[in-house]
Structure 1
């Protein structure tokens, strides 16, 4: 029988040779010095070989254990070589049926119907929150307890809405697994009622005109980068969605010196279904008030050299994060009271109170989808003259006694 000392002393020769350990197990030594464990056996009247792996990766004791396992397989009437291939195949199949593998299949199947930003958010949330915990687990073995455990980690950060979106995405993956014969149930659906409750209602927003002016004055007084301060100012004046504002290109603001400047936001950047994003009739038109044009021109002195109106402070080729505006509002004392998206509610509440007969026009200014689908398909520039008037009226109301935007360039920066 072999010993480790004997194995180590075996030197390569001009030709390959074998060193027997007994019971069909031997060490095959090649001229290059490689040492490989092999097991010789009979199956169906034929001599066969089973490779067990190289020495010293496979120790002497491990090789003997593998030999004994192979003999046990023989006694059960099975071929050890075929059994090894089946085990390897089972491992590959198990990997293909892991949650991550199935989730990526589901993602690639659905990706074409999503806008790029949403698709990135979907796979990003799974890669960050789920794959590190459940990615390698066979999808059929995942229980409701497993699902709620990982979702609790997200909820613990206060990201309850994110946790709920992730649960929906996991549910989609489990349903896809069932449909493709790799799953038996949807544990993500089971935990829906067990998730942390959400505070009902809209996103927090200041909807009183006087309070809104006070809030903007506090924001203007904060130490911040001029681009961030101007972003909040322009957001308040135009009432567009924060994400839309953050990704604005300077090419969309080329006609600021004309008599009635209008910001034309391409449909592809609007909150629309994917199949509507190439429809120019769904471009959104934002009439720009005198105050909005003034703020944009000041912004141009800061970021006008690049294509993005609101570049990221660290990476100029990327748009600013929506969070930058939110953090500024938080520092001004409005955490939990007002978010960037809240300016849309501020605008709607104040203007509907001031101009109750113009509710339909105000809805168009917010790019809300018309209840009448036929009406909603019409050019979004409808009622433009009245929209210009209301945009200027809003700017005069909200910017009363506000500091000139040029002062943002000389204030303290964060």
Structure 2
């Protein structure tokens, strides 16, 4: 018959004095208080594992862990044992998971999310997304375990971006953070996406188009360009004039290699892989884009070939000819002309769409195809190739002549 152990009292635990050797005070059920010669008191529990071997749990020091708290921990351990779970192994697993959670910082999870997304993005989107995170988000909450980040921390991070006037970037970063938190939920690191709840914490932005002048302002713009050309590098002058003459997207213009242009035939064909819709990961448009060149546009390209024709790019970067011209060069030139906030590289496309319809009377479908907008259906696409190319060539020459007349 096993010896009956009387439970300890609070007074016994409180008044237990140190001795020359370590000794214990048992509370029953495997729980005991270990008193060291230095006077420290530690709660421990002895239990038998399923293989018959004896093991111990440490619950912590007294008085931080009271007698009542130690008994609660004993009860939790005994419940686990009844379920066939080793309480020591259970504790180690909890520690491991806690350490794993703590190591999954926002930055670590965000980079993992980014790596998974890269195959579905264009190179530019992947680079810009990570760069913005590194600039705006990681310095603020990147080192924090993702499951510990609070609403207040994320709001403060986003409002810091908003505070410097970057309202659009703040809204974009909020959406990116929401995607990262959603990914964290999917891989089991947290249970709630705090960014989803933040519908009104940032200032509401009105939808807007790229800044663009209207038809009536075109003569004054051309005059400003003439007056400022002496302050620009020749390739930049030609880039601005070509944007008006052929109105491709800014990236499609400045990233053009000379290999796409045949000056003898007067042809410029942009491979579909470089076009906006060609970069789609789902159902990309695999149609090469014919840039119809007027006599004036061809003359500018021939003039430019004498300057940059020995390199890869039509518009090489001044500092590193192995790279294309920066979009910022276009924006800075427009700024020096006095058109900051009033005109952008993309704005030429909006200007031309309305000007050609209103002043030259060409059909919307012809202009739309020259802008490389997607046809609505396969039949329209086939008709584009069959007929619109000839009309577009006529339209582009008429547009160049109209600009000359101004």
2:392 to 387, 392, 406: 387
How has the CA–CA distance of structure 1 residues 398 and 158 changed in structure 2, closer, same or farther, with 3 Å as cutoff?
Answer: farther
How has the CA–CA distance of structure 1 residues 286 and 24 changed in structure 2, closer, same or farther, with 3 Å as cutoff?
Answer: farther
1:340 to 336, 345, 355: 345
Deviation at 1:367, TM superposition (A): 0.8
1:147 to 148, 154, 161: 154
Match of 1:243 in 2: 251
Trace 1:111-150 onto structure 2 (pairs within 5 A). 111-150=118-157
Work out whether residues 100 and 131 of structure 1, in 8 Å CA contact, stay in contact via their aligned partners in 2. Answer: yes
Between stretches 313-322 and 374-383, larger displacement belongs to: 374-383
Larger Rg computed on CA atoms: 2
CA displacement 1:143-165 (0-9 Å, x = unmatched): 33322322223223333222222
The separation in 1 between residues aligned to 2:349 and 2:305, in whole angstroms, is 24
Trace 1:361-380 onto structure 2 (pairs within 5 A). 361-372=366-377, 374-376=379-381
Match of 2:239 in 1: 231
Match of 1:283 in 2: 288
How has the CA–CA distance of structure 1 residues 232 and 158 changed in structure 2, closer, same or farther, with 3 Å as cutoff?
Answer: farther
Trace 1:162-201 onto structure 2 (pairs within 5 A). 162-201=169-208
Deviation at 1:375, TM superposition (A): 2.7
The separation in 2 between residues aligned to 1:357 and 1:331, in whole angstroms, is 33
Which secondary structure state, in structure 1, belongs to the residue aligned with residue 154 of structure 2?
A: helix
Deviation at 1:95, TM superposition (A): 1.6
Deviation at 1:205, TM superposition (A): 0.5
The separation in 1 between residues aligned to 2:267 and 2:386, in whole angstroms, is 10
Work out whether residues 101 and 189 of structure 2, in 8 Å CA contact, stay in contact via their aligned partners in 1. Answer: no
Match of 1:211 in 2: 217
Deviation at 1:346, TM superposition (A): 1.0
Work out whether residues 247 and 352 of structure 2, in 8 Å CA contact, stay in contact via their aligned partners in 1. Answer: yes
CA displacement 1:298-341 (0-9 Å, x = unmatched): 22222222101111121211111111101111111111111111
Work out whether residues 362 and 387 of structure 1, in 8 Å CA contact, stay in contact via their aligned partners in 2. Answer: yes
Structure 1, gaps ≥5 residues long: 1-22, 26-42, 49-66, 402-414
Which secondary structure state, in structure 2, belongs to the residue aligned with residue 192 of structure 1?
A: coil
TM-score scaled by length of structure 2: 0.73
The separation in 1 between residues aligned to 2:383 and 2:116, in whole angstroms, is 32
Number of residues of Structure 1 aligned to a counterpart in Structure 2:
339
Structure 2, gaps ≥5 residues long: 1-35, 39-45, 48-52, 78-86
CA displacement 1:342-394 (0-9 Å, x = unmatched): 00011101011134451111100001112335534776575111100100111
Match of 1:405 in 2: none
Which secondary structure state, in structure 1, belongs to the residue aligned with residue 212 of structure 2?
A: coil
Bigger RCO of structures 1 and 2 (CA < 8 A, at least 6 apart): 1
Match of 1:303 in 2: 308
